[in-house]
């Protein structure tokens, strides 16, 4: 039979071993919990990445659909603007010969040339350009440009381009060239601006298209 000190020592060892076993079991549970949480986290991250990938794909598809929609809308607006411009030209063109006869004081019998959407080649540069309306009557050649919407820059660009008409119509080089800008609606400020630059400004009136310039206005000869 063991003596008391040895029994006590053995009991202490057993208690220590039991505590070690308990701690190992607790540690194992914590490790298992951590591994499980780690797996859960990895699964959540994998799911998150998949969701992000799907989101990116959806955003890419949305951007592509938006780009395509914008492209189609731009095309429709372009076609509409072209139709509006063509319609305006068709409304203006019949009035231009009358306008020139009125300003140049020439008779209908003196009308030499009337052309609508005339494509001509520049005698110097060989470049082809389309003119909305060209009318030749007496000593004058009138070049008309029609805009669906008239803005100040149209006036500036038209004034610069008018003298070039002679390069497209060299057989009329001796004519006095005058310019007429037209639109279905012209703001009063643009009438004044066009007049300041020596241009005839045409807008809708009782006779379809009327001269909007001040009474007694004389167009500049280019």
pLDDT, tens digit, for every residue of 94-141? 889 999 998 888 888 889 999 999 999 998 999 999 999 999 999 999
69 beta partners: none
Number of separate domains in the chain: 1
- Dump pLDDT digits (tens) for 42-68: 888 888 788 888 878 888 777 777 677
Where is pLDDT greater, at 216 or 83? 216
Where is pLDDT greater, at 72 or 34? 34
Question: How many other CB atoms sit within 10 Å of the CB of residue 55?
Answer: 10
125 within a domain of the structure (yes/no): yes
120 within a domain of the structure (yes/no): yes
Q: Give the separation between CA 78 and CA 87, rounded to whole angstroms.
A: 14
What's 135's domain CATH number? 3.40.1350.10
Q: Helix 188-196 crosses helix 152-161 at what angle (to 10 degrees)?
A: 20
Quick check: helix, strand or coil at residue 184?
A: coil
Q: Give the separation between CA 164 and CA 222, rounded to whole angstroms.
A: 10
**Domain extent at residue 133:** 90-211
49 within a domain of the structure (yes/no): no
């Amino acid at each position: 039979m063991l003596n008391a000190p040895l029994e006590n020592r053995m009991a202490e060892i057993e208690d220590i071993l039991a505590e070690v076993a308990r701690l190992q079991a607790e540690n194992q549970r914590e490790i298992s919990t951590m591994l499980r949480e780690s797996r859960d986290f990895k699964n959540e991250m994998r799911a998150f990445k998949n969701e992000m990938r799907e989101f990116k794909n959806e955003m890419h598809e949305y951007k592509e659909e938006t780009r395509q929609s914008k492209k189609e809308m731009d095309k429709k607006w372009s076609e509409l603007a072209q139709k509006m411009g063509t319609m305006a030209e068709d409304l203006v063109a019949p009035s231009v010969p009358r306008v020139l006869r009125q300003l140049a004081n020439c008779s209908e019998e003196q009308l030499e040339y009337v052309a609508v959407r005339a494509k001509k080649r520049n005698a110097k540069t060989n470049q082809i350009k389309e003119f909305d309306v060209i009318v030749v009557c007496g000593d004058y050649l009138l070049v008309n440009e029609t805009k669906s919407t008239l803005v100040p820059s149209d006036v500036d660009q038209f004034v610069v381009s008018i003298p070039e008409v002679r390069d497209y119509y060299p057989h009329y080089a001796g004519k006095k060239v005058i310019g007429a800008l037209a639109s279905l609606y012209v703001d009063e400020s643009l009438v004044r601006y066009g007049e300041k630059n020596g241009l005839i400004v045409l807008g809708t009136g009782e006779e379809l298209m009327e001269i909007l310039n001040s009474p007694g206005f004389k167009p500049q000869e280019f």
